[in-house]
Amino acid sequence: MQRLLRDPQALITGGLLLLITFAGLLAPVLSQHDPNQASLEAVNVAMGSPGHPIGGDANGRDIFARLLASINTAAISAIICSSIALVLGTVGGLIGGYFDKFRNASEWAFTLIMTFPGLLVLILLTPITRGDFRFTMAMFGVLLSPSIYRIVRNLTVAVSRELYVDAAKVSGLTNFRILARHVLSVVRGPIIVAAAFMFGSAISVQSGLAFLGLGSKETPSFGAMIAEGFRNFYISPLQYLWPALALGVINGALVLFGNALRDVLEGARPKPAPIVSKAAVDAARFDGLKPSGAALVDVRDLGVAYRMSQDEQKEVVRGVSFSVEPGETLGLVGESGSGKTQTAFAILGVLPAEAIVTRGSIVLDGNQVIGAKEREMRVLRGASVAYIPQEPMSNLDPVYTVGSQLVEGMRASTSESRGAAKARALDLLRRVGIADPERTFRSYPHQISGGMAQRVLIAGAIASKPRLLIADEPTTALDVTVQAEILDLLRDLQAEFGMGLLLVTHNFGVVADICDRVAVMRQGELVEIGNVEEIFSSPQHEYTKSLLDSILDEETVRKDPPVATVAGRAS
Amino acid sequence: MLIYTLRRLAFGVILFVLVSLITFWLLSFSFDDAVTARLGPAASPETTAALMRELGLDRPVMLQYFDWLAHVVQGDLGKSFFTGEPVASAVPARMGVTLSIVVPALLISVAISVILGVTAAARGGVVDKVVQGMMLFGYLVPNLLVAIFFVVLFAIQLHLLPATGFTPFSKDPAAWARSVTIPIIALVVAGAANISNQIRGAMIDELRRDYVRTLRTRGISPMSIVIRHALRNAAGPALTVFGFEFITMFGGALIIEQVFALPGYGIYSFNSALENDFPVILGLTVFGVFLTVGVNLVTDLANGWLNPKARIH
C-alpha cells in the first residue's frame, strides 16, 4: 500500500479519480440545477452564463449538473459490472482451480458465457432490460466474468500444486481456510489490476450504449451527452467537448492507474542496464593487446553485477581470473549462487540484459569479448566457443523438430547446404550415442527423453567443431546411469576434436572423473585453482577443504557437529 | 488433427444450442411486451391474445424454442415481425457490411501490432518507450471519440472523406473504400493498441526463455531468433488474443456504424431490439454465435497447427 502511495503515476491518477468521484457524489451540493430540469431560457446558453457555469444544452438543461450526474452513472455502472464479474469469476475460479472434480463443469460454464457475442447481446437483450442501465451493466458483468475466472483459476491451480498447500492439508486445515488464506493472497494482486481495467470497460460500454440511445432518457450519462452534443455540433460545438473530455480523462486515468497498480502489485520488469561500463571496456581493450599465449580463453579480473535498486548494484562475479588451454579440462566448481554460470555466460556474451560487466577482460581465441559487438560475438559463437546447457528440455525450441534446430545451428557457423548439413547432423546424432538418428531428427523436443535431449544439445554444440566447449552442469538433470555415459562421451569428443573443456559443476565426483584442473568459486570469488590431484590431496583454502569434507562417503560416519561451511554461506 | 477439428466442431454446436436456448428463454419474458408495442396501448385483451396466438407466442416457451430450432436447422429463420423480410437473408447482408469494416480493421491492426510489438520487445530502450506511449494513447481514447474526431477532421474540415453513408463494394469499389476508411481507422486505433500490448508482452516473455539463449550460443542471428523462433512460440497465445479482439472489434463496430450511418449489423440489432422484433433478434443472435464459435474454432485450430504440443489436447 505504501509503495502505491509513493508511485507518482498511481498517486496522480488515483487522486484524480477520487476527486472526480467525490464531485459526482456532491452533485446536489455543487450544482444549482437538477440534471433533467429543462428550462426554456437555458437552451444552448453559452458558458459562464449566470447559473450555468458550462452552459445549457439543446433541451435547456444545465450541462454542469448533467456532467456531475453522469459521473455518478459511470461510477454505478463500473461498480455493478465489476462486482458481479469479480464475485462470479473469483468464486468460479477458486472452485474450478482447486477442486479437480468441479473443473470440467466450471470450464464449460465460463466457456458458455464467453460464447455470448459481447456487446451484441447487451443490445439484443434490451427488451428485457428496458433500458435500465443497471440491469445492462449487471449482464455485462456476467459477460466479463470469464476473464476473471481464467486469472483466478490459473493462479489457484498453480498455488494448489505448491508443496505448502499439501503441508497445510496434512496439518488439518480445511479446504476453505486454505483457499482463503493461501490462494486468495496470491490472487489478490492480479484481480485488483483486472478490476481497474474493468471499470474502464464498463464505463466505455455504458457510454457507447447510451450514445446509441439504448438507455433510459432519464439517466444522464456521458454517452447520452456526447450523442446530443454530436447532433448539435454546428450550433454549439462545445456541448460535445465537455462530456468527451470528461470521458477521456476518466478512461485515461483508469488505464494509467491500472498500469501503475500492476507495476506495484506484480513487480515491474527489470529495466535493462547497459551491459558494460565504459571504464571496463577501455581497460579491457588495453588488456587485450597483451598476448595471452596459446590459451583458448583467458579470463582476467572479471566482474559482473546486477542492479538492486536505483543506486546500488550487487556483484555476483568478483574479480575472477583463470584460463583454459587447448586439450585440457578445467572444472569450475562451487555451490549454487557462487557465480560460475554467470562467468560462463560472460565468456559466451549471453548475459541477461540486466547484467553489468563492471571490470575485467575475457580474451577468447584472440578476441576481446568485453564490449564486443553482437556481430563480432556471433562469429565466435559456434566456431570458437560452444555451450551445452544444464536443463535439456527447456533449451530446445518446442515448435521445431530437433533436426531442423541442429541444421539451423550448423548453417549459422558454416556455409553448408541444407542437404550436407542434414547428413552431418545425422552423423553427429549417431556419434553422440543416439540409436535411431533418423527418427530423432524428425522428432519434436517433447517426444524425446531428457537423456536424448542432452545428447542432442551436445551434438548441436560440437557440430561446428568449437575450440572451446563450455558445459554447464551437463549431467545434473539426468539419471545417474546416463550421467556416466554423458561424461564418457564428453571425454571422447574432447580427445577426438582436441577441444578445451570448461566444465561448470557443483559435483566433485564429476570433477574427479574428467577434469585436469579445478577452480573453486565461492560467492563470486575464485578461492583456489590448481591441478585435480593437488586439490583433492592437499586443498589449501578452508572453503575447498570443507567442500571436499562434505562429500558423503559410505565408510565415513560423520562425527563433527552439523556446521555448514566456513562463515558466510553463498545463498 | 482431424479428430481434434471434429471435436472442436461438435463442441461448437453444443455451445450454439445452449446460447440460443438461454437467449430465447431470456427474451421470452418480454414476448407480451412486443405484442403490446405493436398493437399500441389502446388494444383490447382479445386483440392482444389473438395476435399472440397468430405469432405462436402463447405456447410453452420450450415448445416454441424447439420449433424455432427445427426451422433454423432447415435454414428458415422466420420473418421479421415488422418488415416481413426473411431473416435468413436480411441478417447476412447486414453482417457483410459490418465484416467489411471489421475484417480489414483486424488485419491492419494485426500487421501494425506485430511490427510494433516485436520491435519494442526486441529492441527495448527508447523504441520500446515510444511504442508503449503509442499503445497508451490507443487505450486511453475510447472508440467513440476517435471516430468522431476523425469525422470532424477528415470529413467536416478537410472534405476528404464522406462523413456518413456506405457504398457497397459491388457498386463502386473506390467509393466503398472511401466510405469505410474512417470507420476502419477508428477501429484500428483501439485494436492495434490492445494487440500490440499483448504481442509485446508475449515476446518479452519468450525472449527470456532458455532456448533463446542456447540458440544465441550457436551463432544464429538475432533477427532469425526473434522472427523464426520467439515469434512463432509467442504466436499461439497471441492468436487467442486476435480472436478476442475480433469479437471486441465487432462490438465496437456496432457503435461506429451508428456514427457513420452504415447499414450494418449494429444498426439492425439496435432497431430490432427497440422494436422487440424477436425473429430478427434471434436471427442476429444465431449469426453472432456462429461468428464467435467460428472465430474460437479457427484460433484453436491455428494454435494446434502452430504448436505441436497443443494437439495432444
pLDDT by residue (tens digit) across B180-221? 888 888 888 888 888 888 888 888 888 888 999 999 999 898
* Residue B193 Cα, gap to closest chain A Cα (Å): 12
CATH number, domain A296-549, options 3.30.450.40, 3.40.50.300, 3.30.450.70, 3.40.50.920: 3.40.50.300
- Collect all residues of chain B within an 8 Å Cβ-Cβ radius of residue A387: 214, 217
For residue B306, give the chain A residue with the closest CA.
A399
CA distance readout (Å), A471 to A59, A465, A488: 79, 14, 14
For the CA atoms of B175, B177, B183, B187, the dihedral, rounded to the nearest 10 degrees, stands at 170
| Mean pLDDT value of segment A514-519 | 91
Looking at residue A570, its pLDDT comes to: 44
| Mean pLDDT value of segment A416-428 | 90
Looking at residue A214, its pLDDT comes to: 79
Yes or no, beta carbons of A208 and B143 under 8 Å apart: yes
CA distance B125 to B209: 20
Model confidence band, residue A194 (pLDDT cutoffs 50, 70, 90): confident
- β-pairing, A517-522 vs A329-333, is parallel
Percent of chain A having pLDDT more than 70?
89
Q: What is the pLDDT of residues A451-484, one digit of tens each?
A: 889 999 999 998 888 999 999 988 877 777 888 8
Neighbour-count burial for B8-19, b at 16+ CB within 10 Å, e otherwise: beebbeebbeeb
CATH number, domain A2-266, options 3.30.70.20, 3.20.20.140, 3.40.50.300, 1.10.3720.10: 1.10.3720.10
User: Any idea which of A48-62, A187-201, A328-342, A546-560 has the lowest mean pLDDT?
Assistant: A546-560
pLDDT at B270 over 50: yes
User: Any idea which of A294-303, A305-314, A512-521, B92-101 has the lowest mean pLDDT?
Assistant: A305-314
Chain position carrying cell 569450475: A332
- A256 phi, psi to nearest 5 deg: -65, -40
Rounded to the nearest angstrom, the gap between the alpha carbon of residue A47 and the centroid of all alpha carbons in its chain is 51
| Mean pLDDT value of segment A338-365 | 88
* Residue B175 Cα, gap to closest chain A Cα (Å): 25
Interface pTM (ipTM) of the complex?
A: 0.80
pLDDT at B313 over 50: no
Q: What is the pLDDT of residues B22-64, one digit of tens each?
A: 888 888 877 777 777 677 777 777 877 777 777 777 777 788 8
Domains of chain B: 99-275 (1.10.3720.10)
Model confidence band, residue A396 (pLDDT cutoffs 50, 70, 90): very high
CA distance readout (Å), A402 to A443, A447, A473: 6, 10, 21
CA distance B129 to A327: 48
The mean pLDDT value of chain B amounts to 81
Q: What is the DSSP string of A275-308?
A: SB-HHHHHHHHHHHTS--TT-SEEEEEEEEEEE-
For residue A111, give the chain B residue with the closest CA.
B15
A2-266 against A296-549: fold identical: no
H/E stretch holding A159 reads helix A133-160
CA distance A63 to A35: 8
Mean pLDDT comparison of A48-57, A154-163, B293-302, highest-scoring range: B293-302
- Collect all residues of chain A within an 8 Å Cβ-Cβ radius of residue B139: 255
Contacting residues for B152 by C-beta, under 8 A, at least 6 apart? A233
- Collect all residues of chain B within an 8 Å Cβ-Cβ radius of residue A354: none
Q: Which amino acid is at B185?
A: I
- β-pairing, A468-472 vs A500-505, is parallel
Looking at residue B126, its pLDDT comes to: 84
- Indicate the DSSP class of residue A49: B
Q: Tell me if B91 sits within 8 A of B195, measured CB to CB.
A: no
CA distance B145 to B151: 10
For residue A380, give the chain B residue with the closest CA.
B219
The mean pLDDT value of chain A amounts to 82
Q: Tell me if A219 sits within 8 A of A138, measured CB to CB.
A: no
Looking at residue A564, its pLDDT comes to: 55
Q: Tell me if A306 sits within 8 A of A300, measured CB to CB.
A: no
Provide, for chain B, the percentages of residues in helix, strand and coil under a 3-state DSSP scheme, each rounded to the nearest 5.
80, 0, 15
Residue A43's CB: how many other CB atoms inside 10 A?
Answer: 15
Burial of B44 (0-12, 13-18, 19+ CB in 10 A): exposed
| Mean pLDDT value of segment A87-109 | 85
Model confidence band, residue A279 (pLDDT cutoffs 50, 70, 90): low
Q: 3-class DSSP state for residue A388?
A: strand
Q: What is the pLDDT of residues A212-231, one digit of tens each?
A: 887 777 788 888 888 888 77
Size of interface A-B (CB pairs under 8 A): 209
CA distance A496 to A480: 25
**Residue from the list B148, B211, B270 with its beta carbon closest to the beta carbon of A212:** B270
pLDDT at A561 over 70: no
For the CA atoms of B7, B13, B18, B22, the dihedral, rounded to the nearest 10 degrees, stands at 150
CA distance B83 to A49: 48
| Mean pLDDT value of segment B219-244 | 85
Yes or no, beta carbons of B247 and A126 under 8 Å apart: no
Per domain, the residue ranges of chain A are: 2-266, 296-549
